[in-house]
Amino acid sequence: MNVYDGQRLAALLEKRGMAPATDVADADVILLNTCAVRAKATDKVYSALGRIRRVKKPDALMGIVGCVARESGGDAFRRVPDLNFVLGPQSYHKIIDILDNPDTKLLNIDMGGLEKFDALPPMTKSPLVAYIPVQEGCNHCCTYCIVPYTRGREISRAPIDVMRDVKTAVDGGAIEICFLGQNVNGYNYIDENGVTHRLSELIRETAKIDAVKRIRFTSSYPTEMTDDLIDMFRLEPKLLPFLNMPIQSGSPDVLTRMNRPSDANQYIDIVTRLRAARPDIQISSDFIVGFPGETDTDFDQTMAIAKHIGYINSYCFKYSPRPHTAAATMPNQIPDQIKAVRLAKLDGLLNEIQRTFNESCRDKIFDCLFEGPDKTGRHLVYRTPFMQQTIVVREQNGHTPPMARIRITDANKASLRGEFVD
Ligand code: 5AD
Ligand code: SF4
């Protein structure tokens, strides 16, 4: 979502005749697009601001947008007095106001609903992967999560607006569509005739567009994985066989305190139905370790479910107490050393599962999407249908097809190596 917001902000500034600066010391406008999900992310913003203010031009406009802006509000100006603007995730389009009135200070952390989408100029050029938000905000008040506060309550965009964005992206060069939402499979739009529109319908409509080769969506809430959506994995070959559906913990007790669905069998049943619909589907998850009150037994249950489902491409985090959340004041907060030990253990297991899956891909051929050159410029990076990074040696003729059939020749924990088949 932040990548999307960043692209839209860049487009907005470019429309005003601005161009990206190569060095922060040359920039006329400096904005940090921020994440507040863990304290470390927020802290990084403030230390970056400290560094930037020492090197920036004296009259450069400097501000923060996104979730840290919403989290800090006016306090951000007290912490960093030379900030010029603080704009929340639903009001960043107001950046125009500070460009028009650079001598003022601008604070806007309003929950503007869908207003920003109408205010943003259409993107005429698109990367190969277009991020299309279908809903914003979240109604699942997980007790650790600041998102319902920073991004607000769930609100779904009208299908006609979503499909217009899809078509604009395709006309601009996109061949993969990634539908976005904090709770993307909760997408639920009731039109003026009382008809309910679901994510499955957006996938079906998008799959009809010839130029679209791949479709995915992120992030999904387990119990909102309805049959119509599961069926899409059976019916729409363009929908990638890869799903991010975080479980967070394997312990029913911890899940209850997280205010998340706590029945492991229910989660396992959803995965079973997904695999029946699409036998090669792979699932990824996010995990939190060291949630208040998490015992060794609770943690062992997390290890067990990670192994049982065989998650690929997953992330785990140490629990981080956040303002505006219920878990921050729960008793039995876990010391950092214990969190660190559990994180290392779970990370080790997830890496092992990932390595085993990557190795199982050797000699297979996948249709892959071009992502860009690697850092050395000598290789090309592609993404398999399971979103694994695949490195291919750049050919002499400079050939970089947007989609390519690639045979996997080697694999390690983090990435694959491959060669063009044709
Ligand atoms: N502490 C640690 N991790 C968190 N996440 C969300 N809130 C917190 C928190 N307070 C993680 C969840 C979520 C991912 C985006 O970030 O695992 O799925
Ligand atoms: Fe946060 Fe995701 Fe839970 Fe919503 S479902 S409150 S975004 S962790």
Give me the CATH number covering residue 301. 3.30.750.200
* Ramachandran bin of 302, using left for φ above 0, alpha for ψ from -120 to 50, beta for the remaining angles: alpha
Query: Are both 308 and 200 inside the same structural domain?
Result: no
CA-nearest residue for atom 1, ligand 2, is: 145
Query: Are both 252 and 232 inside the same structural domain?
Result: no
- Taking residues 327-345, report their average pLDDT: 98
Residue 18 lies in a domain: yes
Nearest ligand for residue 325 CA: 1
Show the tokens assigned to 306: 């990670």
- Taking residues 228-240, report their average pLDDT: 98
Which CATH number goes with the domain that contains 136? 3.30.750.210
CA-nearest residue for atom 18, ligand 1, is: 286
| pLDDT band at residue 112 using 50, 70 and 90 as cut-offs | confident
| pLDDT band at residue 396 using 50, 70 and 90 as cut-offs | confident
Query: Are both 25 and 101 inside the same structural domain?
Result: yes
How far does the centroid of ligand 2 lie from the alpha carbon of residue 364, in Å?
Answer: 36
320 within ligand 1 shell (Cβ under 6 A): yes
- Which residue out of 2, 67, 142 has the highest number of ligand 2 atoms within 8 Å of its CB and is therefore the one to mutate? 142
Percent of the chain with pLDDT over 70: 100
Q: At what angle do helices 199-207 and 159-171 cross, to 10 degrees?
A: 30
Residue 142 lies in a domain: yes
Residue 115 lies in a domain: no
| pLDDT band at residue 366 using 50, 70 and 90 as cut-offs | very high
* CA dihedral sign of residues 16, 18, 20, 24: negative
Query: Are both 274 and 323 inside the same structural domain?
Result: yes
Residue 333 lies in a domain: yes
Query: Are both 279 and 324 inside the same structural domain?
Result: yes
Query: Are both 72 and 22 inside the same structural domain?
Result: yes
Q: Are strands 286-289 and 315-318 parallel, antiparallel or unpaired?
A: parallel
- Taking residues 79-99, report their average pLDDT: 95
* Ramachandran bin of 207, using left for φ above 0, alpha for ψ from -120 to 50, beta for the remaining angles: alpha
How far does the centroid of ligand 1 lie from the alpha carbon of residue 36, in Å?
Answer: 10
Q: Which of 57, 78, 108 is the last residue of a domain?
A: 108
Pocket of ligand 2 (CB under 6 A): 138, 140-142, 145, 147-148, 182-183, 221
Q: Alpha helices, DSSP H only, in 92-136?
A: 95-100, 115-119
Distance CA 373, CA 364 (A): 22
Which CATH number goes with the domain that contains 413? 2.40.50
Query: Are both 334 and 282 inside the same structural domain?
Result: yes
How many domains in the chain?
A: 4
Residue 117 lies in a domain: no
Distance CA 59, CA 80 (A): 15
- Higher-confidence residue: 290 or 118? 290
Asked if residue 325 has pLDDT above 90, the reply is yes
Q: Which of 196, 215, 240 is the last residue of a domain?
A: 240
Percent composition of the chain: helix, strand, coil (DSSP 3-state, to 5): 40, 20, 40
| pLDDT band at residue 227 using 50, 70 and 90 as cut-offs | very high
- At 360, is the secondary structure helix, strand, or coil? helix
Query: Are both 212 and 289 inside the same structural domain?
Result: no
| pLDDT band at residue 119 using 50, 70 and 90 as cut-offs | confident
Q: What is the pLDDT of residues 370-383, one digit of tens each?
A: 999 998 888 999 99
pLDDT value for 205: 98
CB neighbour burial string for 354-386, b if at least 16 within 10 angstroms, e if fewer: beebbeebeeeebebbbeeeeeeeeebbbbbbb
Residue 113 lies in a domain: no
Query: Are both 233 and 268 inside the same structural domain?
Result: no
Range of the domain at 271: 247-360
Residue 44 lies in a domain: yes
- Higher-confidence residue: 117 or 38? 38
Nearest ligand for residue 323 CA: 1
Asked if residue 398 has pLDDT above 80, the reply is no
pLDDT value for 418: 97
Q: What is the pLDDT of residues 275-306, one digit of tens each?
A: 999 999 999 999 999 999 999 999 999 999 99
- Which residue out of 2, 35, 140 has the highest number of ligand 2 atoms within 8 Å of its CB and is therefore the one to mutate? 140
Which CATH number goes with the domain that contains 37? 3.40.50.12160
> Mean pLDDT for the chain?
96
pLDDT value for 394: 84
Asked if residue 395 has pLDDT above 90, the reply is no
Residue 414 lies in a domain: yes
Percent of the chain with pLDDT over 90: 93
148, amino acid identity: P
How far does the centroid of ligand 2 lie from the alpha carbon of residue 73, in Å?
Answer: 21
Query: Are both 144 and 165 inside the same structural domain?
Result: yes
pLDDT value for 404: 95
- Taking residues 220-242, report their average pLDDT: 98
Query: Are both 157 and 225 inside the same structural domain?
Result: yes
pLDDT value for 41: 95
Asked if residue 321 has pLDDT above 90, the reply is yes
How far does the centroid of ligand 1 lie from the alpha carbon of residue 37, in Å?
Answer: 6
How far does the centroid of ligand 1 lie from the alpha carbon of residue 197, in Å?
Answer: 29
Q: Are 24 and 30 in contact (CB under 8 A)?
A: yes
Q: Which of 342, 360, 378 is the last residue of a domain?
A: 360
Query: Are both 280 and 370 inside the same structural domain?
Result: no
Q: What is the pLDDT of residues 149-169, one digit of tens each?
A: 999 999 999 999 999 999 999
pLDDT value for 354: 97
